[in-house]
Amino acid sequence: MPAVLECAHLARSFGSLQAVDDVSLTIAPGETYGLLGPNGAGKTTTISMIAGLLTPSAGTVRVLGREITTAASTAKSAIGLVPQDIALYPDLSARENLRFFGRLQGMRGAELESRIDETLEVVGLRERGKDRIETYSGGMKRRANIAVGLLHSPTLLMLDEPTVGVDPQSRNSILEAIANLGTAGMAVLYTTHYMEEAERLCDRIGIIDDGRLIAEGTRAELVASLGTASRVTVRAEGPLDEWRESLAGLPGTQVHATADGVEITCPDPTGTVAAAFERAGRHGVTISGVDVATPDLESVFLHLTGKALRDE
Ligand SMILES: Nc1ncnc2c1ncn2[C@@H]1O[C@H](COP(=O)(O)OP(=O)(O)O)[C@@H](O)[C@H]1O
Ligand SMILES: [Mg+2]
């Protein structure tokens, strides 16, 4: 079976800015792949090239073995795109929006109506389908936006940060719906800057930063790449910079500044915590909290880039 998606050496620049730089990735049938990276990492630019909306500066995209270009192409019908911004007519109902977009995809009649029922069901909007989009909450609009991407039963569904700015309940129902699609055999490309979402949903995760895919694997593989057993988070107040620097020399550790302290990946958490307290005393820093856990994707990102992934 051919890969559903094959990107080879994809690149895109805007003037002197290299927004996407030599990205190669493959998605297998039924696989949910997460593209995880902070704002500005190049996620939307990558998805736009895969969808054939933006011409790459270099590289190729193949979907089911067929090359995608911006020129109209039948290969594109295998793709469903859920854009980052809501693309719906606010004064039409969800059903009317779906009918409109379905016709653009060449769907008609009873087939279209039954697909509309199915997709509204998938996103949990069956009861509200006849209501105008402008009466929806932010989370419901997002779900209707997802229904549009699903309508023509694509082989590959791409969702660009579909939970940004939605309430926790809608967020959960969106994540559940996407998990079900993966179970049903659809290949999914999911972009996010939320580590928890990538961990919860994705079979494999690519970490993207400054346009480059800097690591790729399952959650377990990515975490194992750190090779160290523990993640020590210390929250503190006072002159943090000198204290952080004093911790940097501990053997086998990686120290990263967080907004309110440090995160340290290390082989010896007990010794690390003791050193953090001892040096805090020396540098006039007050420690307000300590947490020891196994590394997560946030630790992987910190380790690779020296930056925090989450919104500050
Ligand atoms: N049309 C454009 N013109 C100029 N710069 C752009 C354009 N689109 C994106 N960029 C820049 O490219 C980089 C990657 O953007 P984007 O792909 O939107 O990142 P993400 O989706 O990960 O937040 C950013 O620095 C952004 O400002
Ligand atoms: Mg984006």
Let me know the angle formed at the C-alpha of 292 by 290 and 297, rounded to the nearest 5 degrees: 115
Cβ proximity of 246 and 283 under 8 Å = yes
Nearest-atom index, ligand 1, CA of 48? 17
Over residues 237-251, the mean pLDDT reads 91
Both tokens assigned to 214: 């800097």
Over residues 103-109, the mean pLDDT reads 93
Query: Residue 310: pLDDT band by 50, 70, 90 thresholds?
Result: low
Over residues 257-283, the mean pLDDT reads 92
CA distance 203 to 30: 10
Q: What is the pLDDT of residues 122-136, one digit of tens each?
A: 999 999 999 999 999
pLDDT of 200 higher than 60:
yes
Please give the backbone phi and psi of residue 32, each rounded to the nearest 5 degrees, phi first.
-105, 115
User: How many angstroms separate the alpha carbon of residue 23 from the centre of ligand 1?
Assistant: 15
pLDDT of 228 reads 66
Task: Spell out the residues 6+ positions from residue 236 whose beta carbon is closer than 8 angstroms to its own.
Answer: 243, 260, 261, 262, 280, 285, 286, 287, 288
pLDDT of 70 reads 84
pLDDT of 175 reads 94
Q: Measured from the CB, is residue 83 less than 6 Å from ligand 1? A: no
> Of all residues in the chain, what percent carry a pLDDT higher than 70?
98
pLDDT of 256 higher than 90:
no
Residue to mutate (ligand 1; options 10, 12, 13, 17; most atoms within 8 A of CB):
17
Ligand at minimal distance from the CA of 15 is 1
Atom 1, ligand 1: which residue's CA is nearest? 14
Q: What is the pLDDT of residues 15-61, one digit of tens each?
A: 999 999 999 999 999 999 999 999 999 999 999 999 999 999 999 99
Tell me the average pLDDT of the chain: 92
Cα 276 from chain centroid (whole Å):
33
CA dihedral 140, 144, 146, 152 (to 10 degrees): 160
Q: Measured from the CB, is residue 42 less than 6 Å from ligand 1? A: yes
Domains of the chain from N-terminus onward? 5-223 (3.40.50.300), 227-294 (3.30.70)
pLDDT of 312 reads 45
Q: Measured from the CB, is residue 44 less than 6 Å from ligand 1? A: yes
Q: What is the pLDDT of residues 109-161, one digit of tens each?
A: 999 999 999 999 999 999 999 999 999 999 999 999 999 999 999 999 999 99
Nearest-atom index, ligand 1, CA of 46? 17
Cβ proximity of 207 and 224 under 8 Å = no
